[in-house]
C-alpha cells in the first residue's frame, strides 16, 4: 500500500501534455464496458481508476467495493492484493487496459500506474481433442500461454529448458514463446528462428497455424506440412530433448514443433511407451497404409483400362464382369467415387458429433448400395475406395492426411494417361519434390531420430 501511495504522489502533470484520463476516456468512448471510477483524492486532486470490467477481476478490485462517496482512500488501497506496479504513458496504459489491467491516475497527470488485475477467461485443462491418447499423460494444452508453459516445465524439470518471448501484432499484441533445450538445440536454428520472429510485422494473429504460414511467407509454397502441430505436452517434451524448437502463442492450444521432417508425421508419442517390436510393426502398418491410400485407386484405373494384359486372365474377367453395364470410363467412375468419399469425410468432420457418425454411416452404406444397383460404378471399385478411405485415417497427423487426399487425384490422373508407367512417373516426381524441400535448414527426407542420444 505504501508503494501505491508513494507512486501516486510522484504522478505529476507534464508541461504541454494532455491528461492521461482524458486520453483514455476518448480512446474508450464507445466501449460500454469501460469504467473510469472516482475512488478518492490525493493532495486535493481526484484519483481515478480506469479499466474494462469485462476483463478485470472483481475479486482483485476489492478496494472498490466500499462506499465511493466516502471512506478513507488509504484504507481502500490497503486492500489491493496485486502483484507489482508499473508506470506508463498513454500508449502503454491503453495496451494495458485492453489486456485486462487497471490504470490508476490523477485527473491532470500525464502518466498512470498500471495494476495487473486481469482475469483471463479460459477453459480448464482436459484431454487432447484432436489427438487420441492411448497411453501416456492425458492433459492437453489450453489457450493460456502461462498454463502451457507450466505443463511443459512439469514434463522437463531442468534449468536447461529455456524460453524466449516476444509480442507480435500491432492490434492483438499477442505473446509468442519459443522453447528450447539448451544442450540439444542447434544454435544456428535458434538464431534463425529468433530473427524470423522478430522480423514479423502483422496486425493480428490468432492461431499457431496462421503464425507458421507467416513465418514461412518468404519461402515458396509447399504442399506438405513443415511443422507438427500438437496439443500434447508429452510430445513437446520429447521433441525438445531431441533438439527441436517449440513455438506457442497466447490464445492457441497448439504447439509447433520445428523442424519437422517427413518421418515425424508418422510417429506417435505412444511409440515410446510400447515394446520396440510393436512400434516397428505399427510403423510398417502406417507406411503400408500410406502406399495403399496413394496408389490403390491408381492401380485399379491402370489395371482395368490400360495395362489389362498385366493381370491374370481370371482377374481381368472378374474385373470386366464387375463393370458390366457401367456407362462411364474407369477414370470417371473412380474420380466420382473418390470425390464422394471425400464429401462424406468432410460431412463427418463438420457435422455435430451427435449426428455425424449416423449420417456418415447411413450415407455411405445407402449411397454405395444405390450406386451399385444403378450400375454407375462397379463392385470392385467400391472395395478399392473403401480400403482407400480406411487407410487414410491411419495417418497420425491430420495435415499429412489432407495432403494424401489431394495427391491420390494426381496419381489417378497419371494412371489414366500412361497406366503403370504413369504411376511410376508420379512416384518419381513425388520423391524428387520431397528431396528438394527443406524445413528450417533440414532436408525433409532426413530422419531426426538418431539425435535422441544427444542429451545426456
pLDDT, tens only, 313-368: 667 677 776 667 677 788 888 898 899 888 888 877 777 766 666 666 776 677 77
Contact 112, 105 (CB under 8 A): yes
- State the pLDDT at residue 78: 59
Average pLDDT, the chain: 81
How far is it between the farthest Cα atoms of the chain? 104
- State the pLDDT at residue 63: 54
- Give the model confidence (pLDDT) of 95-115 as tens digits: 888 888 888 888 888 888 888
- State the pLDDT at residue 218: 61
Given a cut of 70, the residues of the chain with pLDDT beneath it are 1-17, 59-84, 120-121, 217-221, 313-314, 316, 321-323, 325, 353-360, 363-364, 447-456
- State the pLDDT at residue 82: 58
- State the pLDDT at residue 179: 94
pTM attached to this predicted model: 0.78
Amino acid at each position: 500500500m505504501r508503494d501505491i501511495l508513494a507512486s501516486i504522489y510522484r504522478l505529476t502533470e507534464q508541461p504541454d501534455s494532455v491528461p492521461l484520463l482524458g486520453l483514455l476516456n476518448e480512446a474508450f468512448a464507445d466501449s460500454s464496458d469501460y469504467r473510469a471510477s472516482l475512488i478518492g483524492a490525493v493532495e486535493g486532486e481526484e484519483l481515478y481508476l480506469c479499466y474494462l470490467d469485462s476483463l478485470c477481476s472483481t475479486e482483485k478490485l476489492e478496494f472498490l467495493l466500499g462506499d465511493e462517496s466516502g471512506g478513507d482512500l488509504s484504507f481502500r488501497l490497503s486492500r489491493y492484493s496485486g502483484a507489482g506496479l508499473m508506470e506508463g504513458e498513454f500508449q502503454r496504459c491503453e495496451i494495458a487496459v485492453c489486456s485486462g489491467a487497471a490504470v490508476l491516475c490523477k485527473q491532470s497527470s500525464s502518466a498512470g500506474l498500471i495494476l495487473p488485475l486481469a482475469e483471463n477467461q479460459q477453459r480448464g485443462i482436459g484431454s487432447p481433442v484432436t489427438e487420441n491418447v492411448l497411453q501416456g499423460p492425458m492433459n492437453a494444452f489450453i489457450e493460456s500461454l502461462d498454463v502451457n508453459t507450466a505443463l511443459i516445465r512439469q514434463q522437463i524439470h531442468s534449468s536447461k529448458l529455456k524460453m524466449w518471448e516476444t509480442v507480435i501484432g500491432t492490434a492483438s499484441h499477442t505473446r509468442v514463446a519459443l522453447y528450447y533445450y539448451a544442450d540439444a538445440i542447434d544454435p544456428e536454428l535458434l538464431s534463425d528462428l529468433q530473427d524470423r520472429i522478430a522480423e514479423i510485422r502483422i496486425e493480428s494473429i490468432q492461431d499457431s497455424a496462421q503464425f507458421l504460414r507467416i513465418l514461412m511467407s518468404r519461402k515458396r509454397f509447399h504442399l506438405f506440412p513443415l511443422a507438427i502441430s500438437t496439443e500434447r505436452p508429452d510430445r513437446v517434451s520429447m521433441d525438445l530433448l531431441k533438439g527441436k524448437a517449440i513455438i506457442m502463442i497466447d490464445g492457441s492450444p497448439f504447439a509447433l514443433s520445428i523442424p519437422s521432417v517427413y518421418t515425424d508425421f508418422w510417429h506417435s508419442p505412444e511409440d515410446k511407451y510400447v515394446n520396440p517390436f510393436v512400434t516397428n510393426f505399427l510403423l510398417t502398418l502406417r507406411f503400408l497404409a500410406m502406399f495403399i491410400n496413394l496408389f490403390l485407386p491408381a492401380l485399379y484405373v491402370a489395371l482395368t483400362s490400360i495395362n489389362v494384359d498385366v493381370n491374370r486372365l481370371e482377374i481381368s474377367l472378374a474385373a470386366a464382369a464387375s463393370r458390366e453395364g457401367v456407362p462411364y470410363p474407369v477414370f470417371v467412375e473412380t474420380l466420382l467415387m473418390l470425390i464422394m468419399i471425400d464429401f462424406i469425410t468432410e460431412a463427418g468432420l463438420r457435422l455435430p458429433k451427435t449426428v455425424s457418425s449416423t449420417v456418415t454411416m447411413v450415407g455411405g452404406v445407402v449411397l454405395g448400395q444405390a450406386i451399385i444397383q444403378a450400375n454407375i460404378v462397379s463392385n470392385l471399385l467400391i472395395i478399392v475406395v473403401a480400403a482407400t478411405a480406411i487407410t487414410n485415417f491411419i495417418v497420425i497427423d491430420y495435415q499429412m492426411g489432407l495432403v494424401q487426399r489431394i495427391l491420390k487425384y494426381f496419381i489417378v490422373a497419371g494412371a489414366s494417361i500412361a497406366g503403370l508407367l504413369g504411376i511410376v512417373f508420379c512416384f518419381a516426381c513425388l520423391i524428387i519434390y520431397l528431396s528438394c524441400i527443406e524445413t528450417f535448414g533440414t532436408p525433409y527426407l532426413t530422419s531426426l531420430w538418431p539425435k535422441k542420444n544427444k542429451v545426456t
